[in-house]
A and B are shown apart, each in its own frame.
Chain A
Amino acid sequence: MSTLIPEPIPAVMIDDDVEPDRPARPRWGDGGNGRRRAMGTAGIGSRPGFLTYGLLAAFIIGGAYPLWWSVVVGSGTNATRGETLPLLPGGNFLANATKVLDAIPFWLALGNSIIISSVITISVVTFSTLAGYAFAKLRFRGRDGLMVFVIATMAIPTQLGIIPLFMVMREFGWTGTIGAVIVPTLVTAFGVFFMRQYLVDVIPDELIEAARVDGANQIRTFFNVALPAARPAMAILGLFTFMMAWTDYLWPLIVLSPTNPTLQTALSQLQSGYYVDYSVVLTGAVLATIPLLVLFVIAGKQLISGIMQGAVKG
C-alpha cells in the first residue's frame, strides 16, 4: 500500500498545516515539537545522568547491606544486632568462627558440598553434551519425538517425587551417604536442552561431514569436532549446575543425617538450638558464602553472560 505513495508527498504535505486525509497529524506534530526539544537533554544518545547511577547504586547498596550487616554482626557480639544501623565490623570474627566450627562439622560439610556439587556438575555436563550433540547434529529415528519429551520434562517439578526417592534410598541403605544426594541429580532435562540449543547453531554440518569423509568414526567426531565447539556452553552449564547443587536444601535435609551434612543443612542446624546466638549464626552464614563469593570473583563474567545468553534459571 505505502509503496504506491511516492516518497516526497508526505514531506510536502507536512509543510502546510492542513493534511486532508489525516487530520490528527498536525496537532500531534505541534505537541511533538515542544517535547522533542525538551528531550534532547535527557533522551537518546546522551550519557546516563546522575539519577541513573544514583538509583542503581541505591539498588546495589540495598542488595549488599544485608551481607555487610551479617559481617558486622558476625564480627561483633550478640548485642551488635540490637544496634540500629551498625556499619563497622568488630574484632570477634575469629572467636565467632571458632564457635561455628565447634557447633557444626563445618569442614566435613564443606568437603561434602564440594564433592556432591562437583560430581553432579561433571555428570550433568557430560551427559548433556553427549545427548545435546546427538539431538543437534545427528539424524536418528525418533529424534524429534524424544526432543519434545525433553522439553516437556523441563517444566516438570521432579523434586515432588521425593517420597518414593526417599523410600528407594532407604531400601538400598543409602540414606545418610552423599551418594543419595548425588544420584537424583545426575542428569537434567534443562542441560540437554541448553546444549542442544547451543550446538545446533555453533557446529556447521559440513564440519561433521568432513570429519566423516576423513574416516573419523562417530565418537572421534564427537571428541574432535563437537567437544571443542561445545566448551563455552559446557562451562556455563557447569557453572549453573554447580550453583544448583550447592544451594539445594530440601533433598539433603531429608536424606542426610546431621552428622554427615552438606554446607546448607549444617548451616541450618546453627539456628535450631533453643537459645540462638545470632552473631555465631551470622558468622556461619558469612563463612558459607565465601566459597561462592570466590567462584563469583573468578567466574562472575561467565555467570552474567550465561544468564544473558540463555535466559537460564538455575
Chain B
Amino acid sequence: MTTTIRPPASGTPTPQRRSAASEPLTFRQRLSRFDVKASPYFYVSPFFILFALVGLFPLGYTLVVSMHEWDLLKGQGPFVGFENFVEILGDSMFWNSIGNTISIFLLSSIPQLAIALIVAYLLDQGLRAPTFWRMSVLLPYIVTPVAVAIIFSSAFNEADGLVNNILNVFGIPDQAWKHDTFLSHIAIATMVNFRWTGYNALILLAAMQSVPRDLYESAAIDGAGAVRRFFSITIPSIRPTLIFVIITATIGGLQIFTEPRLFDVSTAGGIGGSDRQFQTTVLFMWELAFFRRDFGEAAAVAWLLFLLIVGFGLINFLISRRIATGGDKPDRRARRARERATRGGAA
C-alpha cells in the first residue's frame, strides 16, 4: 500500500507534507479518498448547474409567466390562473398555426424519409470513391437555414422566380407559391428537405452497412429481387435507426421557425404570410411575445407546444419499444439459413 507513494510529478500541495513520518500518509490517504469520492461530482456539477440555470429554470418559469398577465414592456401583471391557456385554446390563430406546423412537418418528413432511404440504398451499393459521394450528398447541410430560406424564397418568387420559370417551360402557368396555403407549405417543406435529406441518408446508410451481407446473399439465392430484398431485409433491419430519424425529425419539425419567418418578408413582414397561411406555432409564439407584447399568452403557447412535442415523442418512443421487443430476427435468420441449406442442395 505504502509503495504507491512516488515522488510527485506535479506541483500539488500534498506531496510537500511527505517529510513528516506517518502523519502525512494518513492525510494523503484521506485526501485521496476525498479525491475519489468528490471528484465525480466536481466533474458533473458544471453541467448540471449550468443546465438548471439556462435550460430548466426558463422552461419552468415559462409556466409562471403563462399564469399571469404579462406585458413585454409593462412587466408582470395580476395572476390569472389558466386564463391565458383558455384564451389561446379558443384562438383560431393558434389552431391555424398548429395545422400549418403539422402540414409542413408531414410534407417535409415523409418525402424526405423516402428519398433519404433511396439515396442511402444507392450509397450502399459499393460505389467507387465513396467519400466523394457522401460528401456531395451532405453539401446542402452546410448551407445555414437562413441562407436556405433566402435562396428558396427568391427561387419561389411568384413573378419571376426560378421555379415558376421552369414550370412555364413545361407550359404550366405561374403558381402562387407565397399566397396559396398548400403551395406555401410545399415550398417551406422543400427548404427543410433540401437541407436534411442527405444528412438523414448518411444516418440510414450507416445502419444499412451493418446489415449482414449474407442475409442479402441468401435472399438473392432464394430468388428475392432487389425490391423484395429492400423491403423484406433492409427496412426491417434498420428499423431502430429509422425510428430515431423519425423522432428527431418530429422534435425538430414541430419547432420550425426560420424558414417560414423568412419565406415572405417583403410582403408579409415575416409573421408567416399575408393571411398567416404558413405561420407555424413557434412563429405564432414569437409574434405574440414580441409584436403583440403578450408574454403571458406566448408563454402559454410555449407550454402547449412543449406538451405536444413530449406527447409526440412519447408516442414514438412507445411504438419503437414495441417494435424493438418484437425480436423476430433470429427466427427469420434461422429460417433463411435453413432455406439456404435446402436451396444449396438443389443447385
Pick the residue among A28, A156, A163, A289 that contacts B295 (CB under 8 A).
A163
By the criterion CB–CB under 8 Å, are A160 and B305 in contact?
yes
- Cross-chain contact of A187 among B51, B59, B310, B342 (Cβ < 8 A): B51
Q: Is the CB of A187 within 8 A of B50?
A: yes
Contact partner, B342, options A11, A66, A158, A218, Cβ 8 Å: A11
Instruction: Specify the chain B residue showing the minimal Cβ separation from A126.
Output: B46
Q: Are B165 and A36 in contact (CB under 8 A)?
A: no
Give the CA-CA distance A311 to B20 in the complex, in Å.
55
Q: Which residues of B contact A81 (CB under 8 A)?
A: 154, 157, 160-162
Confirm or deny: B315 has a beta carbon within 8 angstroms of a beta carbon on chain A.
no
Report the number of A-B residue pairs with Cβ-Cβ less than 8 Å. Answer: 333
Interface-centre pick from B39, B146, B203, B346 (highest chain A CB count, 10 A): B146
Range, interface on chain A: 35 or more
Interface bits A252-282 vs B (CB < 8 Å: 1, else 0): 0010000000011101101111101010011
Q: Nearest chain A CB to B139's CB is how many angstroms away? A: 6
The answer to whether A84 touches B165, judged by C-beta atoms less than 8 angstroms apart, is: yes
Number of residues of chain B lying within 8 A (CB) of chain A: 121
Q: How far is the CA of A108 from the CA of B221 in the complex (A)?
A: 63
Q: Which of chain B's residues has its CB closest to A42's CB?
A: B226
> Secondary structure of the B side of the interface?
helix
Roughly how many angstroms separate A25 CA and B341 CA in the complex, as a whole number? 13
Enumerate chain B residues within 8 angstroms of A307, measured Cβ to Cβ.
138, 199, 202-203, 206
Question: A residues bordering B, Cβ < 8 Å?
Answer: 2, 7, 10-15, 25, 28-29, 31-36, 39, 42-45, 47-48, 52-53, 55-56, 59-60, 63-64, 66-67, 69-70, 73, 81-85, 127-128, 130-131, 133-135, 138-140, 143, 146, 150, 153, 155-168, 183-187, 189, 192, 213-215, 217-220, 222, 243, 246-247, 249-250, 254, 263-265, 267-268, 270-274, 276, 278, 281-282, 284-285, 288-289, 292-293, 295-296, 300-301, 303-304, 307-309, 311, 313
Chain B interface (Cβ within 8 Å of chain A)?
Answer: 4-6, 10, 12, 32, 35-37, 39-41, 43-44, 46-48, 50-51, 54-59, 61-62, 64-65, 115, 118-119, 122-123, 125-127, 131, 133-140, 142-147, 149-155, 157, 160-162, 165-166, 168-169, 194, 197-199, 202-203, 205-206, 213, 216-217, 220-226, 241, 244, 247-248, 251-252, 255, 257-258, 261-262, 265-266, 270, 282, 286, 289-290, 295, 298-299, 302-303, 305-306, 309-310, 313, 334, 338, 341-346
